[in-house]
Structure 1
């Protein structure tokens, strides 16, 4: 459901340009990395022969810079003495992540900017599956700073089970032992998906595998930008066209394989069909007028 009223016309139009600003920022990092490879390191063919490496390095640099600027996401309240609070889509994240508990999988934690929300004693262990190894140093530093390094395990992989299960076994914690004997037992009490399902390969399959890794009664906490629901009353046909334009001009290439036009809500719903659906499927829709509309909420797997 969505209770949000669209902003004034001018604000909506300016909001359409937010992806353009992010893409321009990411592009500058990519071209800088390519230039350094060619002119500084003498790797003339690197932009052709080492494209994946350069893209990963550039995106890692961009994401570290982007996530290190909390002022972009915070708004002070001049009428109170309260500290600045998250605004926009960032405001959807804190109330959701603070409910995480048990054995937790954080899919694509990036630099760990959300780690302060994951320090609850109710979290017994936390696994961060981050395929971009260039972000691991920052992720490790944040875990130490938050005092959870002893229970935080960095996994150098994505969310696909073929990568995730071996990486979990390599931690030596025994977290997958029961799962290997009985897949219905699952692995995690909570799985976090925050701005990550937009970029995972084979989204439908990956979401299905994540569903399988949830323990019965386990919860999937989701905050994701999705394809604009232009067919709904609060959706926008103009925003849907804008999403297509950004995709055409290289959004996925420069923004770590992110896709603006994925039907993540539909894929999440279908993932539980094998068990007759989710026990609870509660998602709030926000910013449906924009080129980056969001869904956010808690999905609960049926118990045994």
Structure 2
């Protein structure tokens, strides 16, 4: 378990307000895209009839701006300022986790590929990045090329929802024809990467089970995710949990690509292996427990 250094009151308050700053930034992109649709493109009814499309466009532009003009301290699931020994932000949690990646890899929701420099290990054979936001593909491809992963990294234009992912995996020859559900497979990937993405899948429990099904025996799910504040424990904060609810009511999920602040991701992942009597091993640490963006980071290993 990670050691904890209590933040000063000033630092703690700052950590509670940081997500609000990010939310305002995302809102500004949504407003801008809607105004452009009406006044530049002449699509007067687009904000009413095509709100989902404009929302995706706004989030794509916002996320590219975040990841290219700022460091990870201002990313979607940013952590608070340094409040625990040895950590500056949530980005510091990612390298030691992704160091476990090997073999055939599924990168779930890679966004613009900010973790791409951590995937150059010769132990990694091939990477498939399932990214549903088409507005991020150009940046993702550019980053893969820049990191020397152009031939190794393949972009799948879909989410990890089975109805989208199964056809894509069949096109790549990774699933046999006739497969209709991910729980029908005996395993495809050696490693599955979940970095700040499970907060935004439509059904967390189902996704966790399906990702588990995609793992080969002995395979690993590598996780760095922000989660619901553990406010019922000594490591959590009632105030931070209330702020999570406040931000959700302000439209956090709508403006930030369906991201949710109230996910119990650890519980969903642990339950995903119940069909086999649990995981072979789970090495998990918890960080930033008094903030609106507490994290879990670690490795889940499937029984061989």
TM-score, scaled relative to structure 2: 0.92
Residue 41 of structure 2 corresponds to residue 41 of structure 1: yes
Name the residue aligned to 1:176. 175
Q: CA deviation digits over 1:47-105, x for unaligned, max 9?
A: 1100110000000001000011344549xxxxxxxxxx983111000111122100000
Name the residue aligned to 1:13. 13
Name the residue aligned to 1:79. none
| 3-state SS, counterpart of residue 94 of structure 1 | helix
Name the residue aligned to 1:256. 257
Q: Which ranges of structure 2 fall in alignment gaps of 5 or more residues?
A: 75-85
Name the residue aligned to 1:295. 296
Q: Which ranges of structure 1 fall in alignment gaps of 5 or more residues?
A: 75-84
Shift of 1:184: 5.5
| 3-state SS, counterpart of residue 185 of structure 1 | coil
Shift of 1:190: 0.2
Change in 2 beyond 3 A, CA 1:70/1:39: closer
Report if aligned partners of 2:222, 2:299 keep a CA contact under 8 Å in 1. Answer: yes
Residue 131 of structure 2 corresponds to residue 130 of structure 1: yes
Distance 1:254 1:260 in 2: 13
Residue 91 of structure 2 corresponds to residue 68 of structure 1: no
Distance 1:24 1:291 in 2: 16
Report if aligned partners of 1:179, 1:186 keep a CA contact under 8 Å in 2. Answer: no
Residue 30 of structure 2 corresponds to residue 30 of structure 1: yes
Shift of 1:176: 2.4
| 3-state SS, counterpart of residue 153 of structure 1 | strand
Q: CA deviation digits over 1:260-287, x for unaligned, max 9?
A: 0111111111111111111111110000
| 3-state SS, counterpart of residue 104 of structure 1 | strand
Name the residue aligned to 1:99. 100
Change in 2 beyond 3 A, CA 1:179/1:43: closer
Change in 2 beyond 3 A, CA 1:193/1:3: same
Distance 2:87 2:137 in 1: 25
Report if aligned partners of 2:186, 2:213 keep a CA contact under 8 Å in 1. Answer: no
TM-score, scaled relative to structure 1: 0.92
Report if aligned partners of 2:170, 2:177 keep a CA contact under 8 Å in 1. Answer: no
Which deviates further from its counterpart, 287-296 or 183-192?
Answer: 183-192
Report if aligned partners of 2:185, 2:213 keep a CA contact under 8 Å in 1. Answer: yes
Distance 1:138 1:167 in 2: 21
Residue 215 of structure 2 corresponds to residue 214 of structure 1: yes
Count matched residues. Answer: 291
| 3-state SS, counterpart of residue 169 of structure 1 | helix
| 3-state SS, counterpart of residue 262 of structure 1 | coil
Q: CA deviation digits over 1:157-213, x for unaligned, max 9?
A: 101222112112223xx3224995x94630000000000000001111011100100
Report if aligned partners of 1:73, 1:86 keep a CA contact under 8 Å in 2. Answer: no
Distance 1:100 1:138 in 2: 22
Residue 224 of structure 2 corresponds to residue 223 of structure 1: yes
